[in-house]
Amino acid sequence: MARPDKVAAVAQLTELFRTSSAVVLTEYRGLTVGQLKELRRALGDNATYTVAKNTLAAIAAKEAGLDFLAEDLTGPTALAFVTGEPVEAAKALRDFAKDNKALVVKTGAMDGAKLTAEGVKKLADLETREVLLAKAAGAMKGKMTQAAYMFQAPAVKLVRTVDALREKQEQAA
């Protein structure tokens, strides 16, 4: 018979797996409580960093449809459940791991697909959503300016041609 506290823990983890836009599995062996607190602060409101028993996390991952995560739940594993922008959380983990070699990114999942440690690193190297939107808006504005110029060019050319003809007629007269 399953213990109620473990059933509740699995239910809570399953809910976190289902509601998160991404999950990153890390090894935290060698990190102090102060360093873990600093990591949680670095992740901010974007993510929840949780240490859970591997067996309970594996059961919750399977219930959430992320069976492939169960094979990587070995050793001391902590889970970063990302509810905000996955790029920002990946950057926070990458930056923290640069200063604290004890934090090792194992694997992850985003939108139901598996992410390797290299995939998480590539995700961290992406620009943030706001920067990408600003670049897209700038590109669209540039194209709109080009289009406006192209639409205006025939009219300007016509006016210059008429002026040139008028000057030519005035000089001839």
- Per-residue tens of pLDDT for the chain, all 173 residues: 468 888 888 888 888 888 888 898 888 888 888 888 988 888 888 888 888 888 888 888 888 888 888 888 888 888 989 887 888 888 888 888 888 888 888 888 888 788 888 888 888 877 777 777 888 888 888 888 887 778 887 877 888 888 888 888 888 87
Contact indicator for 23, 82 with CB cutoff of 8 Å: yes
Comparing CA positions, the residue from 78, 77, 57 lying closest to residue 68 is 57
CA distance 159 to 57: 74
Contact indicator for 9, 52 with CB cutoff of 8 Å: yes
CA distance 110 to 125: 16
Q: Would you report the helix, strand and coil content of the chain in percent, each value rounded to 5?
A: 65, 15, 20
CA distance 101 to 91: 15
CA distance 24 to 107: 6
Q: In the structure encoding, which two tokens stand for residue 156, read together?
A: 């300007």
Burial class, 149, CB count within 10 angstroms (exposed 0-12 / middle 13-18 / buried 19+):
exposed
Which pLDDT belongs to residue 1?
40
